[in-house]
Structures are given as structure tokens and as C-alpha cells.
Structure 1
Amino acid sequence: MKAKYISYQDTHSFSKLVLDYVNDEEFLKSFYSFRPDMDGLKQAVDARNFKGNRTELVAVLTRQYQNVKTNKSVKHNIDSLAQENTFTITTGHQLNLFTGPLYFIYKIVTAINLALELKIAYPEKNFVPVYWMATEDHDFEEINHVSVDEKNISWIQQTNGATGRLDTKTVAAAVLAYKGYLGISKNGKKLAKLVENAYLNNNNLADATRVLVNSLFENYGLVIVDADDPTLKRQFCDIIKEDITEQRSADLTVKTSEALEKQGYKTQVNGRDINFFYLQDNLRERIVEKDGKFVVKNTDINFTREEIIAEIEANPERFSPNVIMRPLYQEVILPNIAYIGGGAEVSYWMQLKANFDYYEIDFPVLLLRNSALLVDKRSAENMNKLGFNFEDIFLPTEDLQTIWTKKNSESQITLDDDRRALQAVFDKIKLNAFKIDKTLENSADAAKTKTNRLLENLEKKFLRAEKRKHEISLNQIENVKNRLFPNGTLQERVVNLAPMYVNYGDDFISSLIENFQPLGGDFTLLLPS
């Protein structure tokens, strides 16, 4: 594959906040600490005041990997986390079935590539790419399906607890359906074997996800963290207690959100008075304060202030952070300098800056993950034959069809020359009207407006009639758009790894590693070589 890069703005697919952040909008600077460039990253490294326990982190990771066959680069990276000159580059995501949409893969590749770039820039330091598994999320319906060839493969299961703890006994039917799609090609059989080993030979979804993601990325030293761990949670105890009993985060988040909204930015998350769930097997429910007690919603569990403090100290693993507190937890236990996320994540992290400042936790560099569109050979050939540049494909289907029709019509279907001629005529009419009676000037303007509207409607009829003559080419345009933008959205938000792996095998991921530029600030088009 070869790569071509275009600005995020030209894709018409990213929010105002994301575009302004990439373009260094002055107003946003108070909502983050360092720019997402090499200078900003160096400042983040120099300023990092990591207070977490490196020895405990290494011990937890070593235990989590004890039954996973890993490349020596993974073991090396885990061990290096004990050293003061080692930092992490982190991305996080839910435990989507069979890796979910492609952007999950793109997140990890961005983290790997940024770690490599930083190691080259600062060889005296170590940079470890980390995938933070969102094992404590409980919204199973968000992650229990995957799209392959416009068909959904789903894992049917009832659960209300943390998805990472979910038993994989019932996933066999989904694995079988996925293998059926992968087929009998060499690449398909290889991915099928990886999936089968991960999901059928591990007892829970967290372990299954770790094994599958490790098998895809172990050569690049990716370290996978499951923070649903009592040893790691204990390092977060003080913040858990303060958030639950003092409840300051909501006000901080609201003020930040209001400031962003006044500037026209859409905020992503809403703070709560208490930002923790109570977590047990098959249970993850919000904690709320009611009548002087701390109540676990939809249960009979409740605590006095003294009792909940004692419970946090005795069993910190039972307190699960929500979207507001999870980033703080991450930065407490990891020597992190950069977080890589999609547009929505960049937005909600900015809402948390005041929270980080309050708890005196270093705020990492926010880096927009690499985004990409892989253009298959057939689509590339069709676009070339139709006379479009690759950048044009981001335009709406109807716009592309109109552009093509106007370029290829043998008839005159635009009335621009006629409009200019009529403009001159109406200017003369308006002048005469003014000489006769000043009040007639408005009537002349109204007549001109009505005539222009009639011309616009006539031009639309010309265009529709001309389009009917070119049905085959216009259908080709629609088909290309549907292939590259399933459900009318970016490919990466819908398509799974499966078709890419079947077609390209390991070369797909290696091509991403080769072509993604984490500090490039552009959208990546991956084209046939």
C-alpha cells in the first residue's frame, strides 16, 4: 500500500473542536497542558512527576501476562516500566467483540508509532505503547457485535457487571459465525485460529481480548493493561474517598463544559456528584448519596460515611471509576505522557483539565489518533476511470454525481451565462423604474428574485434530465461511495479487521505501522501500490 495525506478538514468528518485543536486555536489552550507535537511531548516528559508505584505496576502486569505467550519485546517493555526513565504512550478502548471497528486497530498503531518516534528522538529514555482495556465498562450491548460485509455477528448474553469479567462460555456461536466469514484462505484461517484460541481457551472477556490483541501486536512491544485490579486500585484510594465524600468533580466539570459550550463546542460527558460505581461479580451500579447515606442504585446496599470509607480502604477493587474518573486513575498508575484517542475522547479529556489540576495529577499530551480510509483496487480503478481525485471521494454522493454530470454533458445544462445577461437586463429595468417612481424599485427587485428562482428550478430540471442519460456512471459513483463509506460514515467506524486481514494478512498492520504519522496532523488515505 501507498499513502496519501489530506487535511482533516477536507474529510468533512470531524468536529469543530477537533479541527480547532489540531489547528492550535488560541481559546482551547487553557483546556490542555502541552501541544501534540514533539516540543510538547518533550515538555511533558520533563514535567512528568509520576507518583505511582512502578514495582507494583510491573508485578501486576507480570501476573496478568503469566499465561500469555509473548514476544520478548513485550517482556522487555514490562520490565522497563520499573525504571525511572521509562514512560508510557497510552490508548484505551472497550472490549469490542473480535476487535470491533477498525479505529480500534488505528488507535493502537498510533500509540506504537509515537513510542517509536519518541525513542528515536530521545534514545536515553524508554517509551512503552500501552493499550488500556476498559474492562470495567458494563454496557455489553455496545460491544457484543461486529460488522462484516454489512452483516452483524452478535454474542448473545445477559450481563449487568463489568464486561471484562464476563464468562466466555457462550461466545462459541459468535466465533463460529466469524470463522465462517473468514473462509479458507491462508490469511482467513490464520485469523480464525487466533480468534478461536483467544475466545475459546480463556475464561473471561478481558483475558480473551488480551490474548487476541497481543497476538496481533506483540512484535511491536505493545503492553496491555487491565486496571480492574486491587493492587492498582489501592493506589487510587485517596481520590476514590474524596470524590465520593466531598463531591467536587461535578462542579469542576460543569464549569469547564459551560466555558466550552459558550464558544460553540459540543461537550461529550456530564459530571456527576459521585463518579464511581460499586463493582462486584455481575453488578456495576452507580453510587449516589441519599438521606445522608451512600446508596448503590438498584440494590439494597448502602453505607454511612464512615462505612464507605472503611469499605474503600478494605476493598478498593469494588469501586469502579466512570468516564470522569477513569482518565485520572490511568494517570495515577501509569508513567504516562500522552493519551491517544478519537475526536470524542479528545473533547471529553479537555472537560477534565480542571479536575486534573484540582487533584494535582499531570495532564498528558492529548493526541488525535490516526484516521484512515483504505481504498481497495476496484474502487481506485473506478475513481480513476470516472476522473475523480481521491480527495473527492469525501464529498456527498449527490455532489459527486452532479460534478461528473456537468463535466461529461454534451449539452449546456448550466444557466450561468443567462443569469449574467438577465442581471444586466434587470439592472436597466431597475434604473428605469427608479426614474419613473422610487417605489417601483422594490417591485423590480422582486421580479428579478422570482426570475432567478425560476432559472434555478429550470437548471435543476436540466440536471435531472441529463443524469438520466448517465445512469451507469452515476451508479458506479454510488457503489464506490457505499463500498468506502458503509452506512454513510467513515469506513473505520464500521468495518472490522476481518476483510482487511483476509485480503492483506499481516501486511495490513505492517502497512499501517509504515504509513501512519502520529504527529503528522493529517488523515491517511491508503491506496493500492
Structure 2
Amino acid sequence: MKLYSEKASAYPGFSPIVMDHLTGEGGEKISLGERIRSTATMRAVVCDVISEQYREVGMSMNGRLEKLREIESGTVTTGHQLQLCGGPAFFHYKIITTIRLARKLEKESGRGVVPIFWLASEDHDFKEVSWVNGESEKFVWSNPLENSKLPVGKLSLEGIEEVVKDWGGNGVNLMESEAVMLELQKAKENGEKYVHLFRRWLELWYGDTELLVLDASHPKLKNTAAALFAHEFTGSGIASAVLKTTEELKLRGFKVGTHIRDVNLFFQKGDGERVGIVKNGDGFLAGKTVINSEGEDWGAWCKKNAEFLSPGVLLRPLYQEFLLSNSHVVLGPGELGYWKQLEGAFQIREIVMPVLHLRDHVLVLSEELLSNAAQVGWSIEKGWWGEEEWKKVWLEGKMPSGIVDLEEKLSEFKRLSVEVAVGTDSTLEGAALASGATMDKAIGNLLKKIGKAIKRQNEQFLNDLSSSALKIYSKGSPQDRYMNFHILSRDVGGFYQLRNLLLEFDCSREKAVCEFMHVVSSVNENK
């Protein structure tokens, strides 16, 4: 197994705003010590909640929480939706980047730095988290409440066992799939919800590292942020600041598309749906529910009802940083855009904005993929090619060598035809040119037939070539957006081998904030 690494800017297809982030100087850097002082008051309650959440599912942290309890320690955080079986591989790349970055920052600063995964348990888009790809099929979880707006973390595990079992039988390493199923069975036996199962999976995959998992939907954490929520009702919310920053980004030529809500909160009580809060005259509604119908002071009302309030996509980062005051957050390219929209919002709330760090971008190439890529001369430096481009380039290389000579002779023949015709009678030029066009068409048809014959003679190889192309780039997306980490890691030694290779990547010669792309290839050492 080989690892080739380069600065992330070498990875093809990034948007202008991501490239600006990678090549620019970045925003203001706050020292780790300053961040620690700003989060001191929140650290104890965060640690207590994490401890409670691990105890709830009977899991030990093996001393991992002690570093976070030390007030001198910092944090690096990433988060994601609760994608079935991890979903696309970039889910793991975000976590791996976070752990490795925390280790590097700890080594450089001399202070403890804890990597944290933020569970997006309150997200209510079930469709986005309900699928995972195996080697050759897509597997989709159907849940009786899938069409509701219930937070996905609160969903029961009904219907999940069969789909996870089927996924495990579609190209996943047997021991890895059995381990995933075992955690699912434990969760079902205990009557747990999906968020608890997902914590179990994260512990399976990363419990031997320093990673801690936080579900910030806990009432204790919401209560501490009551004042942050209250601003959204008093006309001093973040919407205007976000809008201003967004317009500034657009003037710089950057496209950012996250919808800006007037009220960046949702309301969700008990087993009810998560519904966006909207202004209605002088009041506020969440669906048919009147918010604060008694007209109580908003600060007091939010303090009493904070556990029922859920930050929207643009307020959630401020809630996260209010709780954790991270030195860095690890983001995907899409997330980077909307975090950039929040610079003004962080300022008006007087919350320190973390350093934005792009996750690792990884391409995993098996021996078969490497071989087929060599057949067409593709490498990542040439950008993303669709399967038709792969076949087109290969076919061009297989056309008979005599075709070039034939085309040259035809071109000369057409030139002489026009010369002879015009020399006889200038009115014959049109006829000579028409004759040449007819010959071009005839040769074009012949070349098509030759191409079809070559395709017919190499049908199986072309099918294999298409299969390889689709394992690298499909429907406008690179590999890590649709292929599962378990599937990709199979040909390079397995889940933990690939995980550890990326975790242990030595970036000691680079600055801590340097972002990377990696190409992992499976190479037979006996060759």
C-alpha cells in the first residue's frame, strides 16, 4: 500500500471559495490559550454531558474525558449527519483529519487537544441519512416515520437490521460487517434510538483513539445557550449579519447558497416534529404552535424552553463554538461556504470564530483501477474524467496506425482535386469541394465502423474500463462522495489499515493548518 500526499489545492474540482481558502492567508488566528480562557465556564457542563451520554449506552471512555476536563486543553471538532453505516467515505475522512490535526496541535502547543465529533442528531432530513452504497448496490433504510420531520437521532431502529445485513453482504469485509451488526443488535436489545446506535458505531471505529462524541441536543447544553437563542426573537438575531457577509462574498465573486432564515431556530417538543419558527405579525409560529403565547420576556421564556429549541444550519456553528470554543473545525467543501457566511454573525455575538480547516480529500486506487487508469493515461493531475472520456481516450489509442497516413493522403488528394478542377475551369471549384466533402463523409463513416468493430472485439474490457471509471468519478461526483469507506479499504488492507495509514500520515514538515489530498494505491510488493 502506497500513500502519495499533496497540498489539497492539487485536488481537482474545488469551487472558487474553497480555492481562495486554500491559497489565501485565512482569517484572524486566535491563540490556543485565548480560546481556552474563553471556554473555561462551559467546559465542566460539556464534560458532564459527554460522560452521561456514554454511561447511557454502557460505554467506557477509557480515560479519554480526563484530558478534556483539564482546563488547559483545547478542542478540534468535526460533525456530520448520522449517515447509515457511515455513508460516503468522506464521513471518515473528516474524522481522521480531526484526530490527526488535534494530535499535531497538541504536539506543537504543549497543551492537550481533544478531537470531538458533533452528532447531528437533530437533523430531520431522513432521506439524506438513510442510504449507503455497497460494492454494487445502493441500500436504503425504510422507517415508518421516514416522512415525518422527527429528528433522525430520535428514530427507532425499526427496519434497519435487514438493510445493514444486506449492505454487509455486498463487498464489505466479513469481520467488519459482523462488528457493525453486533453493535446494532446491542442497541436493539436495549431499546435504543438511532443516535445511540450511531454512537456505538463511532466507538467501534474510533474508540481506540482520542475521539470523543458529543450530542449537543442535551437539555443541559441547550439551557446554557438560552441567551443565544433569545436574540432570534428580539430582532437582534444573526440574519442581518449573515446577509451582509453573504453580499460581501458575492461581490468578491463567490457563490454561497445557504438559505438565510429570519429566525434561525426550530421548535421540537417530545416526539413531535422539528418545525421551523417563523415570524407571524408581532409573534412567532412553529407550524400551528404559537411560540411564547403568554408574551413572557424572551430571555426568561428561552431559559424555560431551551430544550425544545433547535438551532438551524446557520446558528448551529455559533451554538457549537459557544459550547466548545474550538481552535479549529474540520469541514467539507460545502460546509466551508456557509461557515464563511458567518464571519459577521460571530462578531455580533462576540463568539470567537475557529480556524476553518478543510478535511482530507482521498482517492483510493486498487491494482485493477491503477491498471485500467494506465491504459488510458489517466491520473488525478488530469482532472476528473467520466466513463465516456475513459472509453473515448482508449479507443483513440486503439485505432489503426494507418488512419493518420490515410487522412494525410486524403487531404492531399482533395487539394490536388481542387487544383486540377480549377486549372481546367474555375467554375468546377464547387464540384471539386463537394466531391471532397463526400469523401470526408465516407471516411468518417468508415472510421465509425472501425471504432464499432474495435468496441465489439473488446466488449468485456470496455465494461471493465467503465466499471473502473465509475469507481473514481460518477455522475459529477468524485469517489469519496458516494463510495463507502469499508468498500474502498477492502483492497488496501481493510478499514483499520486505511484509517491508520491516514491517521499516521507525517505532516511534521508542514504547518498544522495545512490541508491535504492523498492518493492511496494498492501495490503488490512481489511485482
Which residue identity is paired with 1:382?
Answer: N
Q: 1:272 aligns with which of 261, 265, 281?
A: 261
Partner of 2:149: 160
Q: 1:225 aligns with which of 204, 210, 214?
A: 214
Which residue identity is paired with 1:492?
Answer: D
Q: Tell me, in whole angstroms, the C-alpha distance in 2 between the residues paired with 1:200 and 1:261.
A: 52
Q: Tell me, in whole angstroms, the C-alpha distance in 1 between the residues paired with 2:367 and 2:514.
A: 25
How do 1:167-206 residues align onto structure 2 when only pairs under 5 Å count?
Answer: 167-181=156-170, 185-198=174-187, 201=190, 203-206=192-195
Alignment of 1:382 onto 2:372: yes
Provide the secondary structure at the position in 2 that maps to 1:469.
helix
Alignment of 1:262 onto 2:251: yes
Partner of 1:312: 302
How do 1:87-102 residues align onto structure 2 when only pairs under 5 Å count?
Answer: 87-102=74-89
Report the CA distance between 1:380 and its aligned residue.
Answer: 2.0
Which residue identity is paired with 1:528?
Answer: S
- Whether contact under 8 Å (1:296, 1:302) holds in the other structure is no
Distance 1:306 1:501, change over 3 A: same
Partner of 1:523: 517
- The CA deviation string for residues 363-388 of structure 1, in whole angstroms up to 9 with x for no partner, is 10101101112112222233345554
Partner of 1:16: 16
- The CA deviation string for residues 99-142 of structure 1, in whole angstroms up to 9 with x for no partner, is 221111110000001011112212x2011000000111111121
Alignment of 1:496 onto 2:484: yes
| Structure 2: unaligned runs, 5 residues or longer | 420-432
Provide the secondary structure at the position in 2 that maps to 1:357.
helix
Which residue identity is paired with 1:272?
Answer: R
Tell me the number of residue pairs that the alignment of Structure 1 and Structure 2 aligns.
Answer: 494
Provide the secondary structure at the position in 1 that maps to 2:327.
strand
- Whether contact under 8 Å (1:516, 1:524) holds in the other structure is no
How do 1:443-454 residues align onto structure 2 when only pairs under 5 Å count?
Answer: none
Q: Tell me, in whole angstroms, the C-alpha distance in 2 between the residues paired with 1:314 and 1:302.
A: 11
Q: Tell me, in whole angstroms, the C-alpha distance in 1 between the residues paired with 2:386 and 2:158.
A: 44
Partner of 1:139: 125
Q: Tell me, in whole angstroms, the C-alpha distance in 2 between the residues paired with 1:106 and 1:157.
A: 31
TM-score after normalising by structure 1: 0.82
- The CA deviation string for residues 210-241 of structure 1, in whole angstroms up to 9 with x for no partner, is 11101210111100001011211122111111
Partner of 2:428: none
Most deviating of 457-466 and 298-307:
457-466
Partner of 1:5: 5
Partner of 2:470: 482
- Whether contact under 8 Å (2:225, 2:319) holds in the other structure is yes
Q: Tell me, in whole angstroms, the C-alpha distance in 2 between the residues paired with 1:223 and 1:457.
A: 69
Q: Tell me, in whole angstroms, the C-alpha distance in 1 between the residues paired with 2:118 and 2:323.
A: 11
- Whether contact under 8 Å (1:252, 1:355) holds in the other structure is yes
Overall identity of the aligned pairs, in %: 25
Partner of 1:335: 325
Report the CA distance between 1:249 and its aligned residue.
Answer: 1.6
Distance 1:7 1:184, change over 3 A: closer
Q: Tell me, in whole angstroms, the C-alpha distance in 2 between the residues paired with 1:295 and 1:478.
A: 52
- Whether contact under 8 Å (1:285, 1:298) holds in the other structure is no
- Whether contact under 8 Å (2:357, 2:515) holds in the other structure is no
Q: Tell me, in whole angstroms, the C-alpha distance in 2 between the residues paired with 1:307 and 1:457.
A: 84
- Whether contact under 8 Å (2:134, 2:172) holds in the other structure is no
Q: Tell me, in whole angstroms, the C-alpha distance in 2 between the residues paired with 1:172 and 1:402.
A: 43
Provide the secondary structure at the position in 1 that maps to 2:277.
strand
Partner of 1:128: 114
Q: Tell me, in whole angstroms, the C-alpha distance in 2 between the residues paired with 1:413 and 1:20.
A: 46
Partner of 1:508: 498
Which residue identity is paired with 1:22?
Answer: L
Provide the secondary structure at the position in 2 that maps to 1:362.
coil
Partner of 2:105: 118
Which residue identity is paired with 1:129?
Answer: P
- The CA deviation string for residues 363-420 of structure 1, in whole angstroms up to 9 with x for no partner, is 10101101112112222233345554464573333333343344444436569x979x
Q: Tell me, in whole angstroms, the C-alpha distance in 1 between the residues paired with 2:318 and 2:87.
A: 26
Q: Tell me, in whole angstroms, the C-alpha distance in 2 between the residues paired with 1:222 and 1:491.
A: 25
Q: Tell me, in whole angstroms, the C-alpha distance in 2 between the residues paired with 1:340 and 1:457.
A: 58
Distance 1:505 1:81, change over 3 A: closer
TM-score after normalising by structure 2: 0.82
Q: Tell me, in whole angstroms, the C-alpha distance in 1 between the residues paired with 2:441 and 2:74.
A: 61
Report the CA distance between 1:524 and its aligned residue.
Answer: 1.4
Partner of 1:287: 277
Which residue identity is paired with 1:332?
Answer: F
Alignment of 1:109 onto 2:96: yes
- Whether contact under 8 Å (1:58, 1:81) holds in the other structure is yes
Provide the secondary structure at the position in 2 that maps to 1:280.
coil
- Whether contact under 8 Å (2:399, 2:451) holds in the other structure is yes
Distance 1:479 1:395, change over 3 A: same
- The CA deviation string for residues 169-198 of structure 1, in whole angstroms up to 9 with x for no partner, is 453333443444467833433343244334
Q: Tell me, in whole angstroms, the C-alpha distance in 2 between the residues paired with 1:409 and 1:489.
A: 30
Provide the secondary structure at the position in 2 that maps to 1:306.
coil
- Whether contact under 8 Å (1:249, 1:271) holds in the other structure is no
Which residue identity is paired with 1:131?
Answer: F
- Whether contact under 8 Å (2:141, 2:159) holds in the other structure is no
Report the CA distance between 1:501 and its aligned residue.
Answer: 5.8
Q: Tell me, in whole angstroms, the C-alpha distance in 2 between the residues paired with 1:172 and 1:120.
A: 42
Q: 2:32 aligns with which of 45, 67, 79?
A: 45
Q: Tell me, in whole angstroms, the C-alpha distance in 1 between the residues paired with 2:338 and 2:312.
A: 12
Distance 1:184 1:359, change over 3 A: closer
Report the CA distance between 1:22 and its aligned residue.
Answer: 0.8
Q: Tell me, in whole angstroms, the C-alpha distance in 1 between the residues paired with 2:128 and 2:506.
A: 27
Alignment of 1:349 onto 2:343: no
Which residue identity is paired with 2:478?
Answer: L
Partner of 1:469: 454
| Structure 1: unaligned runs, 5 residues or longer | 35-39, 430-447
Distance 1:403 1:169, change over 3 A: closer
- Whether contact under 8 Å (1:370, 1:516) holds in the other structure is no
